[in-house]
Amino acid sequence: MRYALHAEWTKARTVAGPAWLLLAVALLTIGLGAVVAEASALASSASAALAAHQSEDGVKLTLGGVQLSQAVVAILAVQAVSGEYATGMIRSTLTAIPRRGVALAAKACVTVGLACAAAVPAVFGAFLLGRAILVGHGYTQAAGYPAMALTAASTLRATLGSVLYLALIALLSMGIAVLVRESAIAIGAVLALLYLFPLLAHVVSDPVWQRHLLQIGPMSAGLLVQNTTGVSTLPLSPWAGLGVLAAWAAAAVAAGAFALRRRDA
């Protein structure tokens, strides 16, 4: 396993693609988060009367960039697998590491590790910058707003949960990529899975179905972990939502592993 990990790390390290993608994850998360925070702060005005309100979730706003950067994480994970199939490298990989489960596990470890390496600075950078913007617009503790302290339990859940969210997106994308091999179809499937449930929920008029769609969608459920206020009104509790995404990711990786064992390379 150590050699398998080392091999995967070398593969990821020695091409330019992953480094650029990781940089994009960080920049997009921080950039879009800052834009959302600035736009929201300009559109409303800080006041003590509104401060107690449940909809006022500053932490969630600052983490809005994750909705964009998750697509880049998906590219990273899909390329890690499909790139090998496209170039035929997969045959060398499986010759060197004939135990396919081990090869897949090593690839998953390296990909998820890379995703986390980008997600930690991205998420915490977005939170700190977004909080500075909101405080600059008067959303301060003195005005009656929650302090948005980094050490508060709800803030930690939102930020660490977002890092986990991106890691799980990487796993989900990898599982699907192993299953279908072709990068175009894999990324199409991943993006459809992520974006379709919230789109459908917007389209159906029945509130019960709407709620169910938001509960089972990997993106809509997983991102619930970012909520810090009004938690009781959510379709699922924040951690349960992330659990739904974890279940999707586990199912995708299991299906991928099964296919990899049964199939010719």
Partner 1 sequence: MTDLDLARPAPTASYRSTLPPSRAGFAQLVHAELTKFRTVRGWSLGLVGAVVFMVLMSLSGGHNGGNCVNGVCSAGPSDPTYAPSGIPVTDGFYFVHQTLDGDGSITVRIAAMTDTLSPAGPHEPAPNPGAAETWGKAGIILKTSLTPGSAYAAVLATSGHGVRMQYDYTHDIAGSSAAATQDDPRWLRLTRSGEVITGYESADGSNWTELGTATLPGLGTSVQAGMFAASPEYSQNTQLLGGLESSAYNSTASARMDHVALQGDWPQGAWTGTAFDYGTGSYAADSGDGTDADTAYVVSGSGDIAPEAGLQDTSQIAESGAFLALIVLTVLATQFVTAEFKHRLLGPTMAASPRRGRLLAAKSLVVGTAAFTVGLVASAIAVPLFDRMWPAGALYKVGALTEARVVLGISLLLAVFAVLAVAVGVIVRRSAVVITTVLVLAVLPYLLAVGSLLPGGAADWLLRVTPAAGFAIAQTIPVYPQVDGIYQPWGGYYPLAPWAGFAVLCAYAALALGAAWLVLRRRDVTA
Where on the chain is the footprint of partner 1 (CB under 8 A)?
35-36, 39-44, 50, 53, 55-58, 60-61, 64, 67-68, 71-72, 74-75, 78-79, 82, 86, 134, 139, 182-188, 191-192, 195-196, 198-200, 202-209
Q: How far is the CB of 133 from partner 1 (least distance, A)?
A: 11
40/162 with CB nearer partner 1: 40
Q: How far is the CB of 98 from partner 1 (least distance, A)?
A: 27
74/253 with CB nearer partner 1: 74
Q: How far is the CB of 60 from partner 1 (least distance, A)?
A: 6
4/59 with CB nearer partner 1: 59
36/168 with CB nearer partner 1: 36
125/130 with CB nearer partner 1: 130
98/207 with CB nearer partner 1: 207
40/111 with CB nearer partner 1: 40
Q: How far is the CB of 83 from partner 1 (least distance, A)?
A: 9
Q: How far is the CB of 2 from partner 1 (least distance, A)?
A: 29
Q: How far is the CB of 198 from partner 1 (least distance, A)?
A: 6
Q: String of b and e for 218-227 (b: at least 16 CB within 10 Å)?
A: bbbbbbbbbb
| Residue type, position 175, single letter | G
Give the closest residue to 111 by CA, choosing from 70, 80, 66, 71.
Answer: 80
CA distance 193 to 163: 19
Q: How far is the CB of 178 from partner 1 (least distance, A)?
A: 14
Q: State whether the Cα torsion 16-21-22-27 is positive or negative.
A: positive
